[in-house]
A = this chain, B = another copy of it.
C-alpha cells in the first residue's frame, strides 16, 4: 500500500467564498502515482468545508444566501460561542456543507460523475487555512 499526503494552503480575502480545488487534487493524485485507492480531502479547520457540487456561480450565490438563512452570521450576540469570537455561524455553516470528501481513485484518476467538482468552502476567511489531501492505494 502506498500513501501520499499534501496540504493545500488558502488565504481567502473575504469572510466567505467557494474555491474549486479539483485541479489541485488532481495534481496531488498525479504526484502520488497511485492508480487504485481512495482520496480523502478535508478541511483542517473547523470553520471551513470541503464538499462536492456544481461549478456554477448562480448555485454558489444560492448556497451563500441559503446558509445565511439557516445559520445567520449576525447578530453575533445570538451565539454563546461568540464571547471572544465572532464565528459561531461559520461552525454551523460548515456542519451543513461537511468537513470532508472521500473519492474513488480508478486508473489513476478521480472517479467522478460528469459534473462533480471539489470545492473548498471558507466561512471565516482573511487568514491562512489548510486542506489536507491524503491518498492511499496502489
A57 to B88, CA, bound (A): 12
Interface size on A, residues (CB 8 A): 58
Measured CA separation A66–B69 after assembly (Å): 12
CB distance from A21 to the nearest CB of B (A): 15
Contact check, B106 vs A5: say whether CB atoms are below 8 A apart. yes
Nearest chain B CB to A124 CB, angstrom units:
12
**CA of A83 to CA of B57 in the docked complex: distance in angstroms?**
11
| Cβ-neighbour of A81 out of B62, B130, B134 (below 8 A) | B62
What is the oligomeric copy number?
Answer: 3
The complex places the Cα of A112 from the Cα of B85 at a distance, in Å, of 21
Question: How distant is A125 from chain B, measured CB to nearest CB, in Å?
Answer: 15
Cβ of A58: which chain B residues have Cβ within 8 Å of it? 79-83, 88
Residues in B with CB closer than 8 Å to A132 are: 104, 111, 113
Which residues does chain B contribute within 8 Å of A136, judged by CB atoms? 36-38, 136-137
Interface residues of A (CB under 8 A from B): 1, 3, 5, 36-38, 40, 42-46, 51-54, 56-59, 61-63, 66, 70-71, 79-83, 88, 91-92, 94-104, 106, 111-116, 130, 132, 134, 136-138
